[in-house]
Amino acid sequence: MKKIKASEAMINVLLDWGVKRVYGLPGDSIDTTIDALHRHDEEIDFIQVRHEEVASLAATSEAKLTGTVGVCLSIGGPGAIHLLNGLYDAKMDHVPVLALIGQVKSSLINSDYFQEVNTAALLEDVAVYNKEIQSAASLPRIVDEAIRTAMRQKGVAVLTIPDDLPDEDIPDTYRALAGEANLFSTPTIEADKIAEVTRLLKESKKPIVLSGVGAKGAGEALTTFIETNHIPLVQTMPSKGTVADNHPNSLGNVGKLGTKPAYEAMKEADFLLLLGTNYPYVDYLPDPSTCKAVQVDIVPERFGKRFPIELAIEGRVADFLTAMNAQGAIRTTDTFLQACQQTMGHWNDWMQEQRQNTTGDFVHPSYLFNAIESIAKPNAVFSIDVGTSTSWGARFLRVQPGQDYLISAWLGTMGCALPGAIAAKINEPERQVLAVAGDGAFAMVMQDFVTATKYQLPLIQFVVNNQKLAFIEVEQQSAGQRNYGIDLEDIDFAKVAEACGGVGYTVKTAAELDALLPKLADVSKPTLVNVYVEDDAPLPGKIVMDEAQGYAKFTFETVLKDHKFPTLPPLKDIMRQFF
């Protein structure tokens, strides 16, 4: 019987699943796996990063962008610990990632050897599949199971591999059960449930759709549905662009980073259609005593988790919308939609004013994000970091179908934008990639700008530089706390980019930004733009009472202890959000 090394059998399984790259760093306890990747470097690219956290965040971003499994690896012990942040991002945003983690040789396990860590225990909470390889012969089967489970459950699979086992010879008999056809059968949308949704929709006077990531890929059907039935649409932030953000029926996002019209429409709604979303901020949803709801999701465990529902429909959002659109026009009245569009018109007028904001000594963030949108191509990928970059992106980047919007939605981990941009440009090199991060977030991963230069990835990284943790500043104020621990020493990020072999620009005024934009239309090297911005952060779309009380307490405490009034947003802006 023909025999091959277990590492070769493992690579064959990865290839059967269509894996094209692995992100990570080599090291002693993963070296046999690295050696196998070296032998197959024409089929699977090994992307060397400078920090394992970037490897797992990049693998997660690849899964978000492509829908396929992202793969990362590290040594055991410290490398595995570094992977955790990106793996939790995959877990919480429900995308498939495989982590291959080294371990000391099997003969040394449980001997308290150098860098020996109980990896299975360490990663138990993050993983939907978590195994330590016990024999070389089991390696290909367990890799196959791990990927299948990660794909089926949309989560993280972890394999801990003692480094001696992949080097052993095993029979070449295993054949992977790869491919989406072997994952699950999609439930059929039942006709009686379509009839019930149709009835509820006909009876409603103020219906609204809240669509999430589960609606991605169904943008055309969703657009037809809301247009035909005169329904306002709210999209969760990670699903921005499923329907154009500036579509006439769109009210933007809802929540602290959303719009006031979306908040008000939600509170008026008498029928809520939840499409592929597990939106967690229940205070921004309608009053359940006066609003009926229908939820469509491929994951039945989510039904009724956030909002009481009349009807649960297990299935793909695209299939549901196809069935609903086959009914033709269900609603003919557009009274509620027109009212929402009127308030959204006022909101958009104000947003347009903000887009042209040139007050202050530096670039206003709203002006910067308007400039970023102006150079974005129809196929652009936005990779947005956590902090005020998230806030400004939610409000001022009007994402379109054909574009993608990568964020750390549920974990909200700083430092995600650059790894996301690296993964996006490697996976889809023909697309424009625009990353945006605050100076605090970018500093966490800036060493991996050299990864972009190593692999010749002509992405653009904007740094929103205000020398502080501006989002934390606002959080402290809205909670009634004095600002503390938020100031950052300035870094010349343009020089960092140049030191890494890329192109760096520094911008301090709107005029300098305008002059630079033509150079950013097409870049041939990794490019960083260090933009000094005004110390400002967008207010919540609707200031609720606890936030108003927090700002009042913050002001009182600052006057009492510092003997001066703090700098707050203009009163006219506060009044617009509060009333």
Give 379's pLDDT tier (boundaries 50, 70, 90): very high
Predicted TM-score of the model (pTM): 0.90
Give me the mean pLDDT over the 485-503 stretch. 94
pLDDT for 37-50, tens place per residue? 999 999 999 999 99
| Per-residue confidence (pLDDT) for residue 107, from 0 to 100 | 66
- For residue 169 the two structure tokens come to 């010879």
Identify the CATH number of the domain defined by range 191-343. Answer: 3.40.50.1220
Task: Give rounded-to-5 percent helix, strand, coil for the chain.
Answer: 45, 15, 40
Please determine, for residue 160, whether its predicted confidence score (pLDDT) is greater than 70: yes
Report percent pLDDT > 90 for the chain. Answer: 78
Strand partners, 132: 160
Q: How far apart are CA 237 and CA 410, in angstroms?
A: 11
Residue 541: pLDDT band (50, 70, 90) is: low
pLDDT band at 211 (very low <50, low <70, confident <90, very high): very high
pLDDT-based confidence at residue 431 (cuts at 50, 70, 90): very high
Fold exhibited by the domain 357-532: Rossmann fold (3.40.50)
pLDDT at 125: 96
Task: Please report the pLDDT score of residue 277 as a whole number.
Answer: 95
| Cβ proximity of 464 and 533 under 8 Å | yes
- The mean per-residue pLDDT over the stretch 142-154 comes to 96
The Cα-based distances of 362 to 220, 297, 326, 470, 489 in angstroms read: 40, 45, 53, 15, 17
In this chain, the answer to whether the domains covering 191-343 and 357-532 adopt an identical fold is yes
Q: What is the pLDDT of residue 542?
A: 59
| Encoded tokens for 358 | 């040139």
- Under the banding of pLDDT at 50, 70 and 90, the label for residue 113 is confident
* Averaged pLDDT for residues 16-36: 95
The full 3-state SS of 446-483, as one line of letters, equals: HHHHHHHHHCCCCCEEEEEECCECHHHHHHHHHCCCCC
361 DSSP assignment: S
Res. 562: pLDDT tops 90: no
pLDDT-based confidence at residue 116 (cuts at 50, 70, 90):
confident
What backbone torsions phi and psi does residue 372 show, to the nearest 5 degrees? -60, -45
Q: Name 209's Cβ contacts closer than 8 Å, sequence gap at least 6.
A: 222, 225, 226, 231, 232, 233, 234, 273, 275
* Average of per-residue pLDDT across 561-570: 51
Residue 556: pLDDT band with limits 50, 70, 90: very low
Rounded to an integer, what distance in angstroms lies between the CA atom of residue 267 and that of residue 283? 10
pLDDT band at 578 (very low <50, low <70, confident <90, very high): very low
The pLDDT of residue 575 is 46
> Is the model's pLDDT at 209 over the cut of 70?
yes
Does residue 544 register a pLDDT over 80? no
Integer CA distances (angstroms), 1 to 13, 139, 140, 191, in order: 19, 18, 17, 54
Confidence of residue 257 (pLDDT cuts 50, 70, 90): confident
- What is the mean pLDDT of the segment spanning 146-155? 96
For residue 536, the model assigns a pLDDT of 82
CB 446 within 8 A of CB 421: no
- How far is Cα 334 from Cα 329, in angstroms, rounded to an integer? 12
486 — pLDDT class (breaks 50, 70, 90)? confident
Residue 146 confidence (pLDDT) above 80? yes
Q: How is the chain split into domains, by residue range? A: 3-171, 191-343, 357-532
User: What local confidence, expressed as pLDDT, does residue 358 receive?
Assistant: 92
Average pLDDT over the chain, rounded to an integer: 91
Could you tell me which residues come within 8 angstroms of residue 112 by beta carbon, excluding any fewer than 6 positions away? none
Q: According to the model, what pLDDT value does residue 469 have?
A: 72
- Give the H/E segment covering residue 272: strand 271-275
How far, in Å, CA of 160 to CA of 73, rounded?
10
pLDDT at 184: 75
- Choose from 473-482, 505-514, 557-566 the range with maximum mean pLDDT: 505-514
Range with the poorest average pLDDT among 133-142, 172-181, 402-411 = 172-181
Q: Which CATH class is domain 3-171?
A: alpha beta
**pLDDT for 215-235, tens place per residue?**
999 999 999 999 999 999 999
pLDDT the model gives residue 100: 97
Sheet containing strand 70-74, strands side by side: 45-48, 21-24, 70-74, 97-103, 156-162, 127-132
Residue type, 446: M
Q: What is the DSSP string of 170-185?
A: EETT-----SGGGT-P
| Of 492, 478, 503, nearest in space to 531 by CA | 492
404 forms beta bridges with 381
Backbone angles phi, psi at 71, to 5 degrees: -130, 135
Which of 86-95, 101-110, 481-490 reaches the highest mean pLDDT? 86-95
Residue 571 has pLDDT above 50, yes or no: no
In this structure, the number of other CB atoms found within 10 A of the CB of residue 412 comes to: 15
Q: Name beta bridge partners: 295.
A: 274, 312
The pLDDT score that the predictor gives to residue 573 is 54
